[in-house]
């Protein structure tokens, strides 16, 4: 009996040890099972995963973070306050503790939610890389950044991350490159295939909504340059007309003096030049009014575009700087 008891005790102890080892080596699977148990992703979340062409593994990483898509700015800022300063539309809480996404309803910004969802899912993916995998991925990302990245907008974005999140720059490269750059070197493309079946679709989303901003920024910049040139022309015309007005006053006084002095020949000789000067002055006034009208029309157009740009910025972030009307 004692021998049987020892055998049973040993077997139980062995089972506990084996079970403990299995639990340690499979802790991610256990955690994921708990997180996904009974979870039904909302339709909006499923749509984002579909739009981003997430693979089963990419979708798995997305869903275990129970993505929360919200239009409540206060709630969103509570969840993402102090998180990614360069990406204000979403955040990922490390160790698979949640993804929060800001809902953007402006049709001109279609694609923002998709890019943000993919960006945050890639943070979750980066979190799951083991040391060997991470070293390999980091090397590919750094190599691309150092030698092949030429998109100034992406360079500026990474530089901003260097200021705001200096300890997570490569992590951010992992999300930014994977969602905003259409063509990557083959090793990186192959790597991202485990998360997306058509990564280029996400990059196109990014290009489309960025165009909504850049086209307006470029138009405002072009209008500002034109307005600057027109303002100089208006100032020059006003100065010239003031000079002509003074000259006309001098001519009128001279004619009045000649007439009162009975210098009829001199008076008559001065009438035609004086009338011509009046005609030139009036033509200058007409031209100036037309120029001012065109200037004001351009100001109205420029400010309307600036307001549109501001509205787009407000649609994604109430803290975004607005283009200032003139």
What is the tally of structural domains in the chain?
3
Residues 242-260: pLDDT tens digits?
998 999 899 899 889 988 8
- Report pLDDT for 20: 46
Q: Examine the domain organization and report whether 34 and 54 are in the same domain.
A: no
| Higher per-residue confidence, 293 vs 189 | 189
| Higher per-residue confidence, 138 vs 307 | 138
Q: Please, what's the largest Cα pairwise distance for the chain?
A: 152
Q: What is the mean pLDDT of residues 181-201?
A: 96
Q: Examine the domain organization and report whether 55 and 12 are in the same domain.
A: no
Q: What is the mean pLDDT of residues 208-230?
A: 78
- Mind giving me the DSSP string for 284-307? HHHHHHHHHHHHHHHHHHHHHHHH
Determine contact, residues 55/194, Cβ cutoff 8 Å.
Answer: yes
Local confidence band at 77 (pLDDT 50, 70, 90 cut-offs): confident
Local confidence band at 322 (pLDDT 50, 70, 90 cut-offs): very low
| Domain C-terminal end among 197, 229, 255 | 197
What domain range includes position 308? Answer: 215-316
Residues 289-317: pLDDT tens digits?
988 888 887 787 776 666 556 655 655 55
264, with CB counted inside 10 A (0-12, 13-18, 19+), is exposed
Q: Examine the domain organization and report whether 67 and 19 are in the same domain.
A: no
Q: Examine the domain organization and report whether 222 and 192 are in the same domain.
A: no
Is residue 91 within a helix (H) or strand (E), and if so which, with residue range? Answer: strand 90-93
Q: Examine the domain organization and report whether 87 and 24 are in the same domain.
A: no
- The answer to the question of residue 202 being in a domain is no
* pLDDT above 70 (res 285): yes
Q: Examine the domain organization and report whether 240 and 142 are in the same domain.
A: no
Average pLDDT, the chain: 82
Q: Examine the domain organization and report whether 280 and 245 are in the same domain.
A: yes
Q: What is the mean pLDDT of residues 53-66?
A: 96
Q: Examine the domain organization and report whether 89 and 160 are in the same domain.
A: yes
- The answer to the question of residue 324 being in a domain is no
Q: What is the mean pLDDT of residues 9-25?
A: 47
Q: Examine the domain organization and report whether 53 and 186 are in the same domain.
A: yes
């Amino acid at each position: 009996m004692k021998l049987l008891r020892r055998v049973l005790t040993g077997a139980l102890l062995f089972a506990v040890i084996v079970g403990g080892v299995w639990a340690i080596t499979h802790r991610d699977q256990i955690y994921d099972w708990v997180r996904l148990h009974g979870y039904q992703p909302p339709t909006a979340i499923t749509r984002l995963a579909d739009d981003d062409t997430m693979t089963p593994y990419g979708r798995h990483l997305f869903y275990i973070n129970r993505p929360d898509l919200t239009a409540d700015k206060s709630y969103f800022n509570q969840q993402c306050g102090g998180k990614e300063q360069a990406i204000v539309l979403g955040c990922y809480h490390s160790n698979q503790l949640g993804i929060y996404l800001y809902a953007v309803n402006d049709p001109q910004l279609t694609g923002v939610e998709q890019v943000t969802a993919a960006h945050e899912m890639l943070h979750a993916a980066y979190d799951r890389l083991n040391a060997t995998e991470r070293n390999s991925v980091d090397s590919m990302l750094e190599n691309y950044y150092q030698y092949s990245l030429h998109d100034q907008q992406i360079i500026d974005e990474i530089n901003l991350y260097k200021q705001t999140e200096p300890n997570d720059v490569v992590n951010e490269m992992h999300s930014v490159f994977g969602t905003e750059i259409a063509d990557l070197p083959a090793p990186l493309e192959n790597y991202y295939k485990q998360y997306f079946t058509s990564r280029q679709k996400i990059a196109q989303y990014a290009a489309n909504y960025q165009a909504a901003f850049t086209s307006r920024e470029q138009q405002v910049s072009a209008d500002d340059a034109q307005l600057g040139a027109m303002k100089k022309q208006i100032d020059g015309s006003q100065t010239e007309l003031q000079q002509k007005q003074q000259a006309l006053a001098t001519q009128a006084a001279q004619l009045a003096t000649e007439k009162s002095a009975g210098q009829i020949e001199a008076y008559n000789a001065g009438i035609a030049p004086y009338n011509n000067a009046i005609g030139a002055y009036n033509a200058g006034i007409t031209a100036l009014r037309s120029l001012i009208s065109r200037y004001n029309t351009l100001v109205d157009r420029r400010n309307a575009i600036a307001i549109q740009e501001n509205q787009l910025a407000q649609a994604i972030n109430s803290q975004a700087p607005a283009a200032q009307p003139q």
